[in-house]
Chains A and B, each alone.
Chain A
Amino acid sequence: MPLYHNEDQAMLKDSISPFVAEKAPVAHLRQLRDRRDETGFSRELWAEFVDMGLPGMLVPEDQGGLGMGHMEAGIVLEEIGRNLTPSPFLTTSVGGVTALTKGGGVQAARWLPAIAAGQAIAALAIDEQARHRPDRVATTAVRSGNGFRLDGQKSFVVHGHVADILLVSANSADGLTLFAVPREAKGVSSDPRLLVDSSLASHMRFDGVELNADAVVGDVGGGQAVLDAMLAATRTGASAELLGVGQGAMDMTIGYLKERKQFGRLIGEFQALQHRAAHLYGELEVARATVMKAQQLLDEGSEDATLYVSVAKAKAGRAANLAVREGVQMHGGIGMTDEFDIGLFMKRDRALSEYMGDIHYHTDRVARLNGY
């Protein structure tokens, strides 16, 4: 499979790109931020995503979706990144759908069609500490009555306060297990925090939440496989979104270099800036190839996907971070003002880079996967 978009994918990009740019440019994020929107995204915009079939892109066709792959989802995520669009697409349509599809059974049958129809939002409740450590799980699921009783807390649950369904990792007597927990269930509480990028992520508590036996996603004690699939998909998706953030920041900065004059010349004429811009271009191109490789390997079900997901998250994180740092610096003083957009890209990069493992986490993982 060649490592570029095929005709269908190129057509998808050609329709998604103007759609997101028109409906949800950076001004859209500013609107939500300035009115202190409590949902964290626009439900009207999500309804338009539904009209285009986007929430169910990864949902199998027999469950109401489009049955597409990570390459296609990445196209949407890159545009979301480029426009800093607040959206539940990553957690719901990529992470949530992947976990439910992998787990199958009752939960898949219940939630996948609902997600595809735009009737359900999903959030991922995985981390229990400030730095991403999905293997450190203190949340417990104890057998109780006809099912389980869930106790514990999770943090950095993006869209957790408004999600319909939460995917929660917990330790049961049989080992790590993933649960589909309705947010409305008794004992679930959320404490949404406004983050640096104006998104909302919750600290969530699960206090004696009673769940039916069929709330398990996949098998009891078999949570690792479902969790791994969900993490791989979400990390790859976050990488694609990071790529969009980086590309958006770079495009804006290159544009500025071509219009800003100092010393009687366009600042883009200065070689000191040209070389840094050219270096950045190379880093982003390499990141793009890497993200695409991870998407392709995931779609092929290849074993190499495990490695490339972390390579992609680390590389896209590095490249996007360079793009936003150079972006602010090359914009000079106005780069520090709230009025100009470049600073918003810097904030989004920081939050997205942290999500599901930062550069350092994934670089370390690359070392471990290679046996050192």
Chain B
Amino acid sequence: MSQLDAFRAEVRQWLDENCPAEMRQPVTGDDDVCWGGRKFVFKNDAQKMWLDRCVAKGYTVPDWPVAYGGAGLTPEQTKIFKQEMARISARPPLQSFGIWMLGPALLQFGTEDQKKHYLTQIARGEIRWCQGYSEPGAGSDLVSLQTFGEDKGDHWVVNGSKIWTSYADQADWIFCLVRTDKSNKYQGITFMLFDMESAGVTTKPILLISGNSPFCETFFDDVVVPKTQFIGEVNRGWDVAKYLLGHEREMISGGGAGGDMRSLGAAMLKSVGANDAGELDDPVLRAEIAAFDVDVFAYRAMGERFMDMWKTGRAHPASSNMMKYVGTELNKRRYELLMSAGGSAALEWESDESREGARPRAWLRTKANSIEGGTSEVMLNVIAKRILDLPGA
């Protein structure tokens, strides 16, 4: 048995013994997700037990170094770990922007003390982070952001506002792009970290077309940020931000909004019904769903290849933009088909049967997939310029 086979056997046995049955069910809604943090309330004992056991093994962040709360797995081992998790439909023990975004940025740009402090907190699910990037006047044109940190010697005083801050009202800390030099557009931004309970921070949820409020407006009114709380160099936060956006796109395209990677058609048999030949009982919808399934399976292979290449430094640095574009457009298509397959039942907004309109709300939520974290159009611009090297502005 090769070392990797032995590792697989070990993981399989550990999962078998430690993953509670309740945690082997597909995630059906946001309240099935463990986000961690000071304010998080566990849905049940199994959810807490699963988190605790994974924390003890470093399995919330399997590929992070052991010193920072990870399990120190190699890319090959991480892939096997994920395969074994998927094999038993195990839920991720912990999800967070800390894991997906801040963590990778800290690993790349953080000091040793920062890594030990913040990464360990993230790995244990102790602190829930939110991301302060977009502003009312700075969406796709993010670098024109205006939130300003005035230099006061040993600290900054931050004023301004952010928008589309995911779960800002539930987060403990924020990683935030703040202008610290008004004379230099790209090299005048600092990547700051601060507590959301700091004096002067307020949040206001934004009601979306889905009827939910996952995003907030976040206001900073003379917020004091000590000059120890930034990553990288002062005025060079754009480098960190760009790096981190790569990871956000990786996340959105991979496990996140890239969505379910199983056959949609097989899952729709029950609601659409089958004809005598056992085929979905609407030939045109069946054809569209089958074409979609081809793209889903294809994208699954792409995700595997992308991660294999990304983790070993083989991927084009801009290829996460392509993943984000393809993955989010695919997920929007999935929900259009889910709505069609559901018929009038998929329209119900408030009923027990519809779990309070879970499907139509999720359908509407997916429309943001190709807007947040860089619109599809921005992704295509980046691919055209950085990968295809097409000319022009």
Contact = CB atoms under 8 A, between A and B. Distances in A.
A281 B322 contact: yes
A150 B22 CA distance: 60
B266 A265 contact: no
Interface in A336-372: 362-364, 366-367, 370-372
Contact of B294 (A268, A285, A363): A363
Contacts of B388: 254, 274, 277-278, 281
Given A4-B309, A278-B380, A315-B294, A372 B390 contact: no
A195 B379 CA distance: 40
Contacts of A312: 298
A328 B319 CA distance: 26
A35 interface: no
A271 B295 CA distance: 26
A266 B289 CA distance: 39
Interface string B358-393: 000000000000000000010111011101111111
Nearest to B384: A274
A126 to B, nearest CB: 23
Contact of A266 (B295, B305, B383, B391): B391
A274 B306 CA distance: 23
Nearest to B274: A372
Given A279-B380, A289-B305, A266 B392 contact: yes
Interface in B235-250: none
Q: Interface size for chain B: under 10, 10 to 19, 20 to 34, or 35 or more residues?
A: 35 or more
B291 interface: yes
Interface string A224-268: 000000000000000000000000000000100110000001101
Interface in B132-182: none
A167 interface: no
A150 to B, nearest CB: 33
B294 A314 contact: yes
B279 to A, nearest CB: 6
A293 B307 CA distance: 14
A19 B114 CA distance: 53
Interface string A305-349: 001101110110010000000000000000000000000000000
Nearest to B314: A4
B302 interface: yes
A292 interface: yes
A293 B269 CA distance: 27
B278 interface: yes
Interface string A22-66: 000000000000000000000000000000000000000000000
Nearest to B312: A2
A314 B294 CA distance: 7
B273 to A, nearest CB: 11
A269 interface: yes
Contacts of A3: 301, 304-305, 308-309
Interface of A: 2-4, 254, 257-258, 265-266, 268-271, 274-275, 277-279, 281-283, 285-290, 292-293, 307-308, 310-312, 314-315, 318, 362-364, 366-367, 370-372
Interface of B: 75-76, 263, 265-266, 268-269, 274, 278-280, 286-287, 289-291, 293-295, 297-299, 301-302, 304-306, 308-309, 312, 314, 319, 322, 325-326, 377, 379-381, 383-385, 387-393
